[in-house]
Structure 1
């Protein structure tokens, strides 16, 4: 029993924790001793701090100003026996967050007292559900799952004889509402354990749920797949599988090498084709240049030749006469200038003739 007292009264709360189901309604009762009318007292239920009000009754009515948001519309005063000093606060639609400690507070004039209460909210979730996962580590793995529990449930495996079997692993998570989801695993290596049960128990309420799974006996084809017996041919088969695996790897590697070789040959062939095309282009350019720069044929006219020049019989060569003065006087310079004019004219004639014969380059666009 939780109580405190003053010179005028005591406040008494429940002696045991109040256990209530998740989503249900519950009441948190308190009373004063000796029994008296408490209609004119201030009565308050709060959590850890005085300001964390669950419900406040003062001046004969409810005061909502200090009430926590989580309890607005969910908490109400039960005052059927208020004249006898017995009151309670009812909380609707219990949540996981409602779980924990509370205090009820009574004040009369300058005297005040309080009592402590404990509320345990429990959630009996779905499950357990047991699944046969498959062969593992020389046995068979079983999995037991459950969700929607609060607080975290206790999980226990048992065989058909009631002997406890420890889990190899347990994983638990909480959802946004604070409810637990749990998964426990077990590996059965003993073929004599043909029946296994999974128990989930709420530690507060003591209520448990169970599900049983049957494992086939030896000799059964299904059981044989989970509990294999040693066999010589299986060892040979395993060796054969290893050899086949190595052979397959070698074949894959050789095929890869062959593909790489083909890629390399294809690249070399492509480079040779590019080189051949480039060579052909250069040869065409060279032939075109040879054709364009051939010497032009011309014939000199003796009638227009300078008196100091001598033309050859084929009229294609010219030379100075032997009696031309070489002493460097003014007449000689004049003759040399005339000679330069002649050759300049011949050169212009040659160039003019060359332009007339110019053809379009095979590698350039035609320009008229």
Structure 2
């Protein structure tokens, strides 16, 4: 009995424990339900990256999802004034509250709003769109932040040249340039095997449009593949552009010695001097022929170019002084001589124009020939590569060497012809410039003669008026 009495008070303890657990569980569920009634704003923790011109969506949504179409939704940028990028209130966008740079450029999807998706659509991205955005719903006092990074990329250009002040070296300098990057990128050089090359410091210039222009130079020697790659990359936007260039073996050949270059320069100079001399002789011959055809004036002398320029330089004062002291017949004689001279100038001008047209046509022919030689050189390179590929598969070594030698001979002959054409082209261009200057001088002379004829006519009218 005593044992039972001692045990009976212990029986209600499990019931009390279960009741306590039940009350705690109910309280927890109520607390969970109460907290779950306040949705949270969710946005990506990593920046959103886009390139200028892209259409982008800045993500932001409610969790758990709920209809936000009738709520007030604000997208802002704290660094702007006004700060509003997009304002949605009672199912309508308030355009007049937006910053001017976002007018007509932002939108929310009504369909997605019904499911709690308040993501902002931003088309035609600009550099100025970069920044930190906040999505905010005032009625629930919740906001979230989205970092937006905007980049700009551009194509690359590679050029090659000889190292400065190193005439006998076989090295080649490669220069890579690219305009229109943002943010500031870095430039890397790689060889055909993908190994990094040691290059000089990258030159960077930031323009008024905030875009960067970068350029880099690297000096390379002949390698197995002679292929080199310029890579411009921007790690922040994860953007990369690269261009590969194959340098022909001939570019790695040491250039001509100083003595050879001197003889080439002297030869070109002599050729140019001969052309100039021929043009001058023809011009003087035309001058002499024209002077012999002129009629003498009343004093027995000729009105030549020198006298004409004297009249013009003195702005007609010499002619005016003469016409005031001579009779009408002297004016007629001078007018006749000037008209003869005008005819001679016009005739010479026609000859010069013909020479200019001939030289221009010749220049175009030379340029076409040089272009065709360039195409032939390219074809020779392609054929040689094809032969090398076939040799690896079919031909024996002797056949390969013979064919390769033939291609090298043809290639060198074409290169020699192209250099000769280039030299002639330079001389023709110089001749064109000289003859063009001559044509300009004749045009000026013609204008001056017409001016003198008009002055004489005025003097005659004044004389006739005095007599009456």
TM-score band, normalised by shorter chain: 0.5 to 0.7
Alignment of 1:126-205 (within 5 A): 126-127=155-156, 129-136=157-164, 138=166, 139-188=171-220, 190-192=221-223, 194-205=226-237
Alpha-carbon distance in structure 1 between the residues aligned to 2:160 and 2:243: 13
Which residue of 87, 93, 96 corresponds with 1:56?
87
5+ residue gaps, structure 2, are 1-34, 263-468
Which residue of 63, 71, 90 corresponds with 2:121?
90
Give the secondary structure class of the aligned counterpart of 2:107. Answer: strand
Does the Cα contact within 8 Å between 1:200 and 1:208 map onto a contact in 2?
A: yes
Change (3 A) 1:175 1:221: closer
Equivalent residue number for residue 29 of structure 1: 59
Q: Deviations over 1:85-130 (max 9, x none)?
A: 112221121101112221111121xx31111112222323122x11
1:120 and 2:155 are equivalent in the alignment: no
Does the Cα contact within 8 Å between 2:150 and 2:237 map onto a contact in 1?
A: no
Number of aligned positions between the proteins: 220
- Alpha-carbon shift at residue 158 of structure 1 (Å): 0.9
1:69 and 2:88 are equivalent in the alignment: no
Give the secondary structure class of the aligned counterpart of 2:53. Answer: coil
Does the Cα contact within 8 Å between 2:172 and 2:252 map onto a contact in 1?
A: no
Does the Cα contact within 8 Å between 1:130 and 1:142 map onto a contact in 2?
A: yes
- Please identify, of 130-139 and 38-47, the stretch whose mean Cα deviation from structure 2 is larger: 130-139
Alpha-carbon distance in structure 2 between the residues aligned to 1:174 and 1:72: 28
Quote the RMSD (CA, aligned, Å).
Answer: 2.9
Q: Deviations over 1:246-292 (max 9, x none)?
A: xxxxxxxxxxxxxxxxxxxxxxxxxxxxxxxxxxxxxxxxxxxxxxx
- Alpha-carbon shift at residue 183 of structure 1 (Å): 0.9
Which residue of 63, 71, 83 corresponds with 1:41?
71
1:19 and 2:32 are equivalent in the alignment: no
Which protein has the bigger strand share? 1
Give the secondary structure class of the aligned counterpart of 1:84. Answer: coil
Equivalent residue number for residue 240 of structure 1: none
Give the secondary structure class of the aligned counterpart of 1:39. Answer: coil
Alignment of 1:253-332 (within 5 A): none
- Please identify, of 12-21 and 84-93, the stretch whose mean Cα deviation from structure 2 is larger: 12-21
Q: Where does structure 1 differ by over 6 angstroms across 4 or more consecutive aligned residues?
A: none
**TM-score computed with the length of structure 1 as normaliser:** 0.53
Does the Cα contact within 8 Å between 1:216 and 1:223 map onto a contact in 2?
A: no
Equivalent residue number for residue 364 of structure 1: none
- Alpha-carbon shift at residue 7 of structure 1 (Å): 7.0
Does the Cα contact within 8 Å between 2:172 and 2:251 map onto a contact in 1?
A: no
Give the secondary structure class of the aligned counterpart of 1:119. Answer: strand
- Alpha-carbon shift at residue 176 of structure 1 (Å): 3.8
Give the secondary structure class of the aligned counterpart of 1:80. Answer: helix
Alpha-carbon distance in structure 2 between the residues aligned to 1:31 and 1:224: 67
Alignment of 1:337-352 (within 5 A): none
Bigger radius of gyration: 1
Alignment of 1:102-113 (within 5 A): 102-108=133-139, 111-113=140-142
Does the Cα contact within 8 Å between 1:99 and 1:121 map onto a contact in 2?
A: yes
Does the Cα contact within 8 Å between 1:80 and 1:87 map onto a contact in 2?
A: no
Equivalent residue number for residue 209 of structure 1: 241
**TM-score computed with the length of structure 2 as normaliser:** 0.43
Alpha-carbon distance in structure 1 between the residues aligned to 2:234 and 2:251: 38
